[in-house]
Structures are given as C-alpha cells and as structure tokens.
Structure 1
C-alpha cells in the first residue's frame, strides 16, 4: 500500500493506493516549508487526515510539494511525515509531480499555473532545466497570485471598471485596509491573492478581465516557456489557473505557434499511473 500527496500552497491532495487502485482520495490544506515549521506541518497533517491513516504501515509515502526544491526544505517535510507515518518517505518538488504526472516517461516541457507558477524541461526521468519561478513578488507570471495581485491593485487604484469594482467589494466584503493587511501582515498572502482569480473567471466576458488574464498568461510564455526548446517537444499544463482559463491559454499559446495537447487541474491521476508502473528510489528520512 502506497500513499501519494501532491501539495500546492492552497491545498494538498492525498491518494491511498492499494495495488493499482485508489482506495481513498482526500483533500487537506496546503503545506509549504517556506511558510510553515516542522511542528506546524505535523499538526496540519495530523488534523487533516483520518486517524486510520496513521495506523497503517505504508510501503512508501511519496510527497510532492511547493517549496520542496532544496535538501533543507525537503528535510523539514520528511521529518514531519516520518514522525506521523513511521514509513519510508520520498519528498520531491511539485514541479517533479507535474512532470511525472503530465509526461510519465516522455521528454517534454511541464508547466504549472496554479496559486504560483513554474516550468521545466523533463527528459523522461529527471528535470534537466528549470526557469526559476521566483515567487509572486519577483515572478510567478501566469499564476493566480499574480493575477489576483494585478486585479486587486487596479481595484484599489480605481483603474478597473467601476461596475466590476463594485461587484468585487460586494462579493468579498473587504475594505482597502483589510486587503493591505492580508497582503503585508498575515500568513499566506499568495493564497489570499489567488482567491481573486476565481472571481475573474466568473467575469471573463469583460474585455478588461480577458485582457488582464491573457496578458498575464502571455508573460508566462515570454518569460518562461520560450526559454526552452518549445518547438520540438510537447508542452503540457497543470493547475487550477491553467484548467479554469484553458480557452484563453490555448489562444495565447497559438500566438507562439504552440499547440497544447494536455491541460489538467491536478497531476494526481498521472502520478498514480506513474507510481504503479515505476520503481522509485526511497529517501531515508
């Protein structure tokens, strides 16, 4: 029996696998070692999952997560999980989850557009090149956090259409001071900003919104995708923004001569297939 977890900054998706079948599928809050301590991660896992998960002895626990790009950050997650599950743990980045889930053993370019954004070239086994995402302050083009940041700034400066601003404030019931407090003083500002991308998706028929979304996606192609050998390999996308704005994403891709052959909201189905067909090395946490 294996346990697979794929975590972004907003939510964690868990799949319990027996043989080649998923027996349980659960969502909990996002986990990110950049923003959470080992103790906080352990508490999140313990409170989020059913108690019987902690009474099982897993053959392997595979955890893929945002912020798991360095040995130090992987160690924080690994120590937290091994204390909970008492099982062998493998911790990898959410980018490798995207690559394995989207491409399996095929070479290509894997892209994440969710709360944050990222991309890589994957040779069928390993990530061999990565244009750094840099987070929502310096990068993360195409992401929900950046889309929300741009829209919120336009609202606060009165640059978005008046009717849209009014609808926005009616829906979210927040003041300018509340918004600034959430961005600059409260935990997980990227999660907060990303929630506004769902509001924008409801108003995609607005010329202002369509232009905002398409320009944000265009920036992702210019600053990330075109730095790879994108004309000779498949390009596939995963994430809530990619999935919810798939029609706009296809249109923007055409501007670069790109045909996207797969867009999924979550890499989990692909990861389940990957881990039921591949033997992965065990990390020692």
Structure 2
C-alpha cells in the first residue's frame, strides 16, 4: 500500500494506492514547512485526514510539497509523516512532483502556475536547473498570489476600473482595512491573495483583467523560461492558474515562439502513474 501526497500552498491531495488503483482520496489544507512547525503539520494531518487513512497499513509514503527544497525542511515533513503513519517516507519538492507527473522519465521544462509559480529543466530523472521562484514578494510571476496582489493593489489605489472594483467589493464584502489586515497581520497571505485569482478568471472578457493576466504571464516567461534552453525541449504546465487561464497562457507563449504542451490542474494522476509503473510490468 502506497500513500502519495501532493501539497501546494493552499491544499494537500492524498491518495492511498493499492497496486495500480486509488482506493482512498482526500484533501486537507496545504502543508508548508516554511510557514508551519512540525507540531502544526502533524496536527493538521491527524485532524483533517479521514480515519481510514490511519487504519490501512501503509508500506511507503511519497510526499511532494511546496517549501520542501532543503533537507532541513524535508525532515520537518518527514518526521510528521513517519510519526503519524509508522511508515518510511520520501519527501521531495512540489516541483519534482510536477515534472514526474508531467514528463515521467522524459526530459523537458516543467512549470508550476498555481498559488505560487516555479520552473525547472528536468533531465528525465532529476531537476538539473531551477530559476529561483523567490516567493510572492520577490518573484512568483504569473502565480495566483501575484495576480491577486496586483489586482488588490490596483483596486485600493483606484487604478483598476471602477466597475470591476465595485463588483469585487460587492462579491467579497471586504474592505481595504480587511485586506491590509489579511496581508500584513495574518498568516498565509499568499493563500489569501491567490484566492482572488478565481474572481479574475470569471472576468477575462474585461480588458483590464486580460491585460493584467497577460502581463503576468509575459513576466513569467521573460524572468524564468528564457533562462532555459526553452526552444529545444517540450514545455508543460501544472497548476490551477495555468489550467484556467490556458488560452491566455498559450497566446503569450506564442510571442516567445513556444508551443505549450500539457496543461494539468493537478499532478496526482501523473504521480499515481509514475509510482505504479512497475506494477504494470509485474
């Protein structure tokens, strides 16, 4: 029995896999060792996962997560997993999870556009080049958090069109003071900011929104993709922002003579295929 988990900044997807079949699936909040201590992570796992996950005998855990880029951070997650499930755990970055899901054992340039953003060159086995994503304050171009950040800033500075701002404030029943508190005083500001990308997605026919999204994707290409040998390898995308804004993403990619390959909302189907491939050969 394998337990496969993929954790972004906003949510974690868990699958119990027996042979080549998913027998249980669940979602919990995102787990990120940059923002949470081991005790918080363990508590989240124990209280939010259905009890069936703890009753099954797990032989191996594969966990892919945002913030799992260093041994120190991986060990925080690993210790929580081993304590909760009493099984060996392999902890890797969400970026490696994305490219394993997208490419399997083939080389290519893999990108994440979700709550945050990231990219890398994957040689079919490991990540060999990674342009630093830098998070939503210094980087994360094209991500939901940066889209939300720019839109909220434009609303509060009265730069965004009045009709769109009025609609936004009416839908969310939120004030500028609420926004400031959530961004500067409460945890997980990136999740808060990214949540408003769903509002933008519903208004892509608005010229302002179209330009905002296009500009962000253009920044993602110029500040990330062009630093790889991007015309020699396929480029695939993972994440809800890439998935829901696919048409604009493809339009911007064409400006760089790039033909976008796969666009997947979640890596889990690909990760299940990756980790059960040997089962099909038995």
Q: TM-score, normalised on structure 1?
A: 0.97
Per-residue deviation, 1:48: 1.1
1:160 equivalent to 2:160? Answer: yes
More displaced stretch, 266-275 vs 50-59: 50-59
- 1:1-285 maps to which residues of 2 (within 5 A)? 1-277=1-277
Q: Deviations over 1:55-85 (max 9, x none)?
A: 2221201000000000010010001111000
Aligned length: 279
Q: What 5-or-longer segments of structure 2 have no aligned partner?
A: none
Q: Per the alignment, in what secondary structure is the counterpart of residue 261 of structure 1?
A: strand
Partner Cα separation in structure 1 for residue 41 and residue 278 of structure 2: 28
Partner Cα separation in structure 1 for residue 22 and residue 53 of structure 2: 14
Moved segments of 4+, more than 4 Å = none
Partner Cα separation in structure 2 for residue 142 and residue 35 of structure 1: 22
Contact 2:97 2:267 in 1 (8 A): yes
Partner Cα separation in structure 1 for residue 169 and residue 126 of structure 2: 45
Q: Deviations over 1:9-47 (max 9, x none)?
A: 000011111100111121111110111110000010011
Partner Cα separation in structure 2 for residue 138 and residue 98 of structure 1: 22
Q: Per the alignment, in what secondary structure is the counterpart of residue 34 of structure 1?
A: coil
Partner Cα separation in structure 2 for residue 25 and residue 51 of structure 1: 12
Contact 2:16 2:53 in 1 (8 A): no
Partner Cα separation in structure 2 for residue 106 and residue 37 of structure 1: 35
Q: Per the alignment, in what secondary structure is the counterpart of residue 58 of structure 2?
A: coil
Partner Cα separation in structure 2 for residue 56 and residue 24 of structure 1: 10
Partner Cα separation in structure 2 for residue 220 and residue 191 of structure 1: 19
Q: Per the alignment, in what secondary structure is the counterpart of residue 178 of structure 1?
A: helix
Q: Per the alignment, in what secondary structure is the counterpart of residue 142 of structure 2?
A: coil
Per-residue deviation, 1:54: 1.3
Partner Cα separation in structure 1 for residue 89 and residue 42 of structure 2: 14
**Residue in 2 aligned with 1:282?**
none
Q: TM-score, normalised on structure 2?
A: 0.98
Partner Cα separation in structure 1 for residue 145 and residue 64 of structure 2: 20
